[in-house]
Structure 1
Amino acid sequence: MLTSREELDAELGGAARAWLDEALAEAAHEAARTGAPADAAAGTPPSAASPYASPPWELRYAAAGRHCGPEHADSVRSLLLVEARAPLASLVRLYEQGTAAERRAVLLTLHLLDLGDTALPLVEDALRTNDTRLIAAAVGPYAADRLAPHAWRHAVLKCLFTGVPVAAVARLGERARGDAELARMLHDFAAERTAAGRPVPEDLRTVLALTAPPDEDGRPGPPAAAPATTEES
């Protein structure tokens, strides 16, 4: 969960606050110098991201945990990305060259930047991993707004398969409502698990209930029949 600048100032020590002030000033200077708003949405495809020298604020991004503590690193990195109005090339560079923690902060911030659909390859890459930290970050508000229905359904299944709580999926109830195809996929997944003698995640029942179409008054309809579960041996 990201925290605000005000909350960070209340929790960070003097040296960390001073470092953050300097880092955000560098990010703001870079945004003003490059005119980032005009470039952020256009960007270039990830495969064509610039390999050249990184601006100073990107070096600060990598050092956030060391200076502000790992518990604040996501929020500090997110603030830097927003202040820099980070263009796609920077996001790709930080994601591809970063640690898992640095990648997670990129994913957590995508919805706060003016990127259009251009950052979807980063979300798709995270969903191909089995790193639950990245998967949970990838199914946030940006994915809820931008992922096509088929890809979004598979993202939900990826959460169930890897044990990421479906509470991490932004706008789950809204996007799942009345989704008969998602309901079918959930039943198939449950059947495969049961046939293999493996338990069906309780979260699957939660999502399945959300797929019920609304009644004629717009209220949630009755949930679909839940699949049988197999107890842990």
Structure 2
Amino acid sequence: MELIESLVGAVARRAPDAVDWLRAHLAYDPAQWAPAFSAAGRKLGRAAITEEDVRDLPIPWAVGAGVDECGRAALVASAIVALEPAAHVTFVRDLIRRGEVRERQAVLRVLTGLPDAGRFVDVAIDACRTNVQAVFEAIACDNAFPARYLPAEPFAHLVLKALFIGAPVSRIVDLQARVDDNLVRMVEAYASERRAAGRPVPDDAKLVRKS
């Protein structure tokens, strides 16, 4: 699977001394998978992936993510290959619900690369409700999943939440392609409420406009 190879390649460039551990755990073993997924932070480290690390690799979203996140993303992708398709959505949902912050970030970042990614729409919508900004940004920022798969209403709520909590709207992938009249109205109403309350309107609100 090209995605797995690319993720392992990025880990190899950033953490060459640790990549053998990752390769040794890619073959899905139900008894060993969860411990390996949890241990990735200790085994791989948390150094940030750079643009050079993903040069010539089709995973631009990995830039800025930790080595541990890329390793966990590779483990998730390898598990999806091994599991029966009927189990995929539940498997991914459980990881996001039960994982610690960096584990949830890794799963959300890799969603778009998983087979038949549209199946995970409800999982992504649930993730957008999180109160943890780092987890929200893992699905909302530098992630192609929302623009490709979220229906209009959940996508609009994602944009509004980004404005409300200060997540960078400029990093919402393909935002302009998804801006419609309803989203513009919602953002204008949000801005009007802020002004009426004497509160500043985030500069990023200006990014939500029809081209």
TM-score normalised by the chain length of structure 1:
0.71
State the match for 1:122 in structure 2: 123
Q: Percent identity?
A: 32
Number of corresponding residues = 179
Q: 1:174 aligns with which of 173, 177, 185?
A: 177
Q: CA deviation at 1:121?
A: 2.4
Structure 2 length-normalised TM: 0.78
| Structure 1 residue 116: Cα displacement | 4.4
- Give ranges in structure 2 of 5+ residues lacking alignment: 1-5, 48-66, 82-87
Task: Give the Cα separation in 2 of the matches to 1:116 and 1:22.
Answer: 26
Which amino acid in 1 is paired with 2:164? F
Structure ranking higher in helix proportion: 2
Q: Which of residues 68, 73, 78 is equivalent to 2:68?
A: 73
| 8 Å Cα contact 1:91/1:106 also seen in 2 | yes
Aligned to 2:62: none
Aligned with residue 62 of structure 1, among 28, 33, 38: 38
3-state SS of 2:34 partner: helix
- Which runs of 4 or more aligned residues in structure 1 lie more than 4 Å from their structure 2 counterparts after TM superposition? none
Tell me the alpha carbon deviations over residues 85-108 of structure 1, each in whole angstroms, 9 at most, x when there is no partner.
262232122212110111111111
Could you tell me whether the CA contact under 8 Å between 1:130 and 1:162 is conserved in 2?
Answer: no
Gaps of 5+ in 1: 31-53, 213-233
Aligned residue runs from structure 1 range 84-233, under 5 A: 84-85=79-80, 87-139=88-140, 140-176=143-179, 179-208=180-209, 211-212=210-211
How far is 1:170 from its partner?
1.7
Q: Which amino acid counterpart does residue 92 of structure 2 have in structure 1?
A: L
Check conservation: 1:111, 1:142, Cα contact below 8 A. yes
Tell me which residue corresponds to 2:84. Answer: none
Structure 1 residue 112: Cα displacement: 0.7
Shift of 1:19: 0.9
Larger Rg: 1
Instruction: Check conservation: 1:123, 1:138, Cα contact below 8 A.
Output: yes
SS of 2:115 mapped into structure 1 = coil
Cα distance 1:167–1:59, how it changes in 2: closer, same or farther (>3 A)? farther
Distance 1:169 1:58 in 2: 31
